[in-house]
Structure 1
Amino acid sequence: VKASVQVIEARDPCTYGHSERVAALTVRLSEEVNTVTSGRLRSIYFNNRQIQEIRYAALLHDFGKIGVPEAVLTKQKKLYPAQLEIIRHRFGLAQRTMEMECVQSKYKYLLEHSAYRKHPSQEPECAQCQEIEQLDTKLAEAKTRLAEYWELLLEANEPHILAAEPLAQLREIARQTYRDIDGARKPLLNPDEILQLMVSRGNLTPEERSEIESHVTHTYEFLKQIPWTKDLKNVPDIAYGHHEKLDGTGYPLGLNKSEIPIQAQVMTIADIYDALTAGDRPYKRALRTDAAMKILRQEAAHNKINAELLELFDHRRVFSVLGHSLEVKVESA
């Protein structure tokens, strides 16, 4: 089991320690369930072998990530680094093309007005001078606009929620073209790049998110092949349910509350809590315990996770197993 965890973490260094932390939280919450003497949880009790089963399932719940393409698994922003580098060169080419076209326009203009010679006695604001200055002005404006597009692209590439205005600006960029070295007009951004940048939340396209979500099925298929002892036979099913939601909106099976093993419901709370508070993910900042608990309560209020288990998680300070605590604000007198 430990070797498998090491494989998972080597595959996705950004989530190093996640499996161990989820296991610690899940086991502690399961142990706290055993002490409940009232309410809906009072009839639930996990013996020592079941606790071990829960621990193994939690340690291995993400093993299926070995079946997810590494580029998708470790993706930090909306565009892959190689894509961004290609676009950067494209923007540089577009700027050089603008500059070359401006020089060509000046040269053509001067050839057409070859009889024109500037003398000190001539008025400074001559028509020819104004034409040349207008070309320079247009070039400067075009370069400024291109630089603004680049800054907008970098901003849109971050994995945060895009507001309506940046989305509209991205649509404007999608209509822009440049002249390539072969003389053909080509889009500044291709359709795939625009699709990725216009992801309104997070950094994954629907196809990439589907690949990430497939790790649950990969985990289940792997765990089913292991000849578990009778006491550990539920490990695959427990791990299989950690992304299911009580209202049926989870994945991969869309199970309802009655169909999700209670052990998986315990693990779901631990998994979400660690994902919110972990500081090892470069694409998001770690949340404080109170902020994470607020989000979890919202999930429970919307019938996504088990409210009774979450209340126990909070009341018994299960997160303290990771060294976390709630910050208490002291009001000044």
Structure 2
Amino acid sequence: MNRRIMTLVAALVPVLILGVIGTVVTVPYVALGPGPTFNTLGEVDGKQVVDVQGAAVDPTTGHLNMTTVSVRDGLNLFEAFGFWASGQHGLVPRAEVYPPGVPREEIDKSNQQDFKDSEGNAEVAALHFLNLPTVVLIRKVGDGPAAGVLEPGDELISINGAPIAAPKDVVTAVSSQPPGSELTVAFRRGAGEQTAKIVLAARPDDPAKGYLGVTPGEGARPPMEVTFNLADIGGPSAGLMFSLALIDKLSPGELDGGKFVAGTGTIDQDGKVGPIGGIQYKMMAAREVGAETFLVPAANCNEARQRTPEGLRLVKVENLDGAVKSLDDISAGRETVSCG
């Protein structure tokens, strides 16, 4: 009996050790998989995902879903194996997502800024597509002479009497003056117009030029105001779907004919659609919630073709004009430009 017990104990010890190692020791990998999707024509927490105030909004139905990738970090050996075996996730070296030596908070902040920038680009691209007027807005106020004077959201009207019609006008007006120069800045905050005198500092990368410390951008002309109400999302890949939702709301009819469309892609202010990462997981997420059509950035088509979920039609998109045309074709039952 004692010999049998000893044999059993000897057999169980390696199993117990493996169990402890498998649950305690973390692996240098993260698991990527399908993340949540959001209908940009719908609501989240009682708010419109793309909210338009101060302008007539056309009723919309159907779905224009933006998609995301989930990232699971701090995996133990058993969890990593489980995700790998699921067929729904992939393992990549942690360093590809969280570079060594860069604080996690800094990475998260950068991702959030990318998302914020994508919102601004999406708004401007949609307004340009619709030939609607834009104004120059302060997007960010840094640590410089403008801090405490100008605020994000201020509309710039003129600098030293010269009208500001585009963000480049701000750069020209400021960089043409040496440090120590005093500028008179006219701006609109809310309903009131104000002026302020600001003394320029030296530009950090070129001390001979003046520095104001603001990031200008374009936005809707008041009283129209566009707000994107999605929190805790990072990265720039929602830009295309945000633009399409805004166009749908500000134009007559429905872009997708009330159908269920999802997609992804970065967008710049000229409407060019750029590639993203994790396309296979975004397609999985879209199909799981019922999408029948997926808008794919042209540069991602080759990868998307190899991992297309059953029943999901892929539509190749190079720019905003092409995306709108494809949605019109889908609504009318016409053939679209596919990734095939």
TM-score (norm 2): 0.25
Per residue, is there more helix in 1 or in 2? 1
Alignment TM-score, normalising by the size of structure 1:
0.26
Larger-gyration structure (1/2): 1
